[in-house]
Amino acid sequence: MLSFDFLVVTFLFVAVVVVLAVTRLRPIAVFAMVAFVLYASGVLTLDGLSHNYVNPSLLTLIGLVLLSVVLEKISFVSDLSRRSVTQNDGASGSVSRGVFRLGLVAGVISSFLNNTAVVATLMGGLRRQPHLPVSRYLLPLSYASIAGGMMTLVGTSTNLIVNSFVEEAGETPLGFFDFTLIGAPVFLATLVVISLLSHRFLSDRQVATDAQERREYLFEQTVMPGSQLIGKTIQDNGLRQLENMFLVEVVREQSSKTYAPVAPDLIINAGDVLVFSGDPAYEHIFQQFDGLVALGGDKHSHGDGAPLAEVIISPTSSMIGYSLKACEFRSRFDAAVIAIRRGSRNIRGKLGDHVLQAGDCLLLTTGPKFGNKGAESSNRRDFITVSGIERRQPLSTYASGMVMGGFVLAIGLSVAGVIPLLKGVLLLLGACLAFSLVTIEELKGRFPFELIVVIGGALGLSQAMFQVGLAEMLAGAVNFAVGGMGPFAALIAVYVVTWLVTELVTNNAAAALMFPIAYATAEALGVSPYPFFMALAFGASASFMSPYGYQTNLMVYSAGNYQLSDYLKAGFPLLLVYSVVALSLIPIVFPF
């Protein structure tokens, strides 16, 4: 008869997979509930559960996330990004050569730095060059950063998460360059495929620049002398509740001052320029207001008023599932939404009533508080800034050299076994704080609280699956499915299932859910578990056929005007090459 603990753990495992795959519930809520149920049901003790949250690899991951705040400021990263993007124009060569250069830069940098920041930096540079076929560059950029992140232990959070499970299982942790002999050939192979196929499978869709988007969605109206609007507030004039139009800023002629966002009690003066965003089909609505005339020409350029910013809703954003009105976007971020794009589709109608989804691209007009350091750090939890507001001031050349030197030294000492990587990262982070290269406010804004909860809860679920025998049962199912064809067939099965789970949920969640099965499969076969650890890591990062499995894929989804079919057409051949190379090399580098 099945025990109570077994039933609880089985229910949790199935529930986590289903909930993450078919609902919009955030992983932090799911895995927090997992931890609570495991403790409340008595499956795990408090000591056993709390131990998971101080796992050495998890602490290392936290340190690297915080250190990335400094590393992203290194001047040579933005310089190298700018050069690679500048070279990739129509006059300098074909799209294939441009994609190869861009992908090479993105992949190499992503093997050491957070690939989300790398993609955001390079994507912003591409979007500022209207002569480029941007839609043929952005998705390859994401793919290259994913593959490049597999070249080292710290290249992606997935590798570190897998390593945290390896340590928790009592196995020898993976080394910094243990991924390189597999990851480097995989990266080069995928880069070649990306370069050759990008112009074949990705159409040259028009991607609007900030100025083009502004002209399409913004309507400038000037208040003429003698207008009945003069002397009354925005609220009294009924300018806040217009159908399919939203007042985003007021430019005051006399003082050249811009009010954005617009307060309801702002009094209108003669000569004020009212800037609205909304659906072009409703432009006639302004005719009902006395003395409000469309402003012709470029006399008042919006670029001279409140600055524009383009942001993408993060997969971890607290705004997902809520409308702009419900999450009080304007007051919360000191910014007003001008336009929303979801994939290749522009959202029309009342923007404030549309429910936000991960990957939505928002064009904002921003107030003075939006770009300050404290707000920027807080904003990063909810969205990724692509263009407009400068995300951070780069470090000087000297400071950049010192930080990069310190990072290389920390890695070198870790590889040599002198000090753990965690200690090296913390020492470097402390030095950066001491020399004011980063502030506490910036670190607080990037503290990976959600990642801690998710990994801690997942480690608890993994521990419980081994404890009640569920991991062994699922491993037996894997071995039965491959019909006793040996460890390589089981390795392929683990890889394929991990990839499927990744496309349904996310890469980190897939690695967490599949680790107990992969480890138990190796134990059941009596072979080394390390090939299965590698299959798990590479399978969890093989997210090429969906925008939702990996954060960088989601970042470029709306920014590149992509459709889901683009991910299928471009991602399928890439997935085949990536998988064949990885699965061929894993048993060679890590024998059974």
Nearest to 519 by CA among 558, 586, 474, 481: 474
Tokens describing residue 296: 């012709």
Which spans in 128-209 are helix H? 138-148, 157-168, 180-201
Q: Which amino acid is at 35?
A: A
Contact between 246 and 277 under an 8 Å Cβ cutoff? The reply is: yes
Contact between 285 and 322 under an 8 Å Cβ cutoff? The reply is: no
Question: Could you give the C-alpha distances from 460 to 32, 293, 454, 501, 521, in angstroms and in order?
Answer: 10, 64, 10, 19, 19
Tokens describing residue 236: 């009294």
Q: pLDDT value at position 202?
A: 64
Residues 6 or more apart from 168 whose CB is under 8 A from it?
52, 55, 459, 462, 463
For the chain, the C-alpha Rg in angstroms (whole number) is 26
Q: pLDDT value at position 84?
A: 67
Residue 447 CB coordination number (10 Å)? 15
Q: How far is the C-alpha of 319 from the C-alpha of 326, rounded, in Å?
A: 9
Q: pLDDT value at position 508?
A: 84
CA 106 and chain centroid, separation: 15
Tokens describing residue 378: 């807080």
DSSP β-ladder status, 308-313 and 257-259: unpaired
**Positive or negative, the Cα torsion across 233, 236, 238, 241?**
positive
Residue 418 CB coordination number (10 Å)? 10
Residue 79 CB coordination number (10 Å)? 13
The reply to whether domains 225-290 and 308-387 share a CATH topology is yes
Residues 6 or more apart from 6 whose CB is under 8 A from it?
468, 469, 470
Give the domain 308-387 fold: Alpha-Beta Plaits (3.30.70)
Contact between 247 and 240 under an 8 Å Cβ cutoff? The reply is: yes
Q: How far is the C-alpha of 465 from the C-alpha of 6, rounded, in Å?
A: 8
DSSP β-ladder status, 257-259 and 218-223: unpaired
- List, edge to edge, every strand of the sheet that includes 383-387: 345-346, 335-342, 361-366, 308-313, 383-387
Residues 6 or more apart from 342 whose CB is under 8 A from it?
357, 359, 360, 361, 558
Nearest to 513 by CA among 498, 527, 533, 534: 498
Q: HEC profile for 228-274?
A: CCCCCECCCCCCCCCCCEEEEEEEECCCCEEECCCCCCCECCCCCEE
Question: Could you give the C-alpha distances from 210 to 23, 112, 252, in angstroms and in order?
Answer: 33, 31, 23
Q: pLDDT value at position 33?
A: 94
Q: Give pLDDT tens digits along the chain (592 positions).
A: 678 899 999 999 999 989 888 887 788 889 999 999 999 999 888 888 888 888 888 888 899 888 888 887 887 766 665 666 554 444 445 778 888 888 998 999 899 887 887 887 787 667 666 566 777 888 999 999 999 999 999 888 899 889 989 988 889 999 889 999 999 999 999 999 998 887 776 666 555 544 444 444 567 788 999 899 999 999 888 888 787 788 888 888 777 788 878 888 899 999 888 888 776 567 678 888 888 887 643 333 444 455 677 788 877 777 888 888 888 887 788 887 777 878 767 676 566 778 888 888 887 877 777 765 445 555 667 777 776 665 557 788 888 889 989 999 999 998 888 999 899 999 999 999 999 888 888 888 778 888 889 888 988 998 899 999 998 898 888 888 887 788 999 999 999 999 998 888 878 888 988 999 999 999 999 999 999 999 999 999 998 988 877 888 888 887 777 888 888 888 999 999 999 999 999 999 999 8
**Positive or negative, the Cα torsion across 203, 204, 209, 215?**
negative
Q: How far is the C-alpha of 178 from the C-alpha of 198, rounded, in Å?
A: 30
CA 348 and chain centroid, separation: 25
Contact between 5 and 43 under an 8 Å Cβ cutoff? The reply is: yes
Residues 6 or more apart from 383 whose CB is under 8 A from it?
311, 312, 313, 314, 317, 362
The enclosing H or E element of 402 equals: helix 397-415
- State the burial class of residue 265 (Cβ atoms within 10 Å of its Cβ: 0-12, 13-18, 19+): exposed
Residues 6 or more apart from 434 whose CB is under 8 A from it?
none
Q: pLDDT value at position 215?
A: 45
Nearest to 148 by CA among 101, 185, 191, 111: 111
Secondary structure of residue 139 in the 3-state scheme: helix
Q: How far is the C-alpha of 539 from the C-alpha of 505, rounded, in Å?
A: 13
Rounded to 5°, the CA angle 45-46-51 comes to 105
Residue 584 CB coordination number (10 Å)? 12
Q: How far is the C-alpha of 223 from the C-alpha of 307, rounded, in Å?
A: 22
DSSP β-ladder status, 257-259 and 292-294: unpaired
Tokens describing residue 446: 């990037």
CA 414 and chain centroid, separation: 28
CATH code of the region 225-290: 3.30.70.1450
Tokens describing residue 584: 């061929």
DSSP β-ladder status, 308-313 and 383-387: antiparallel
Residues 6 or more apart from 374 whose CB is under 8 A from it?
441, 445
- Domain range summary for the chain, segments of one domain joined by +: 225-290, 308-387
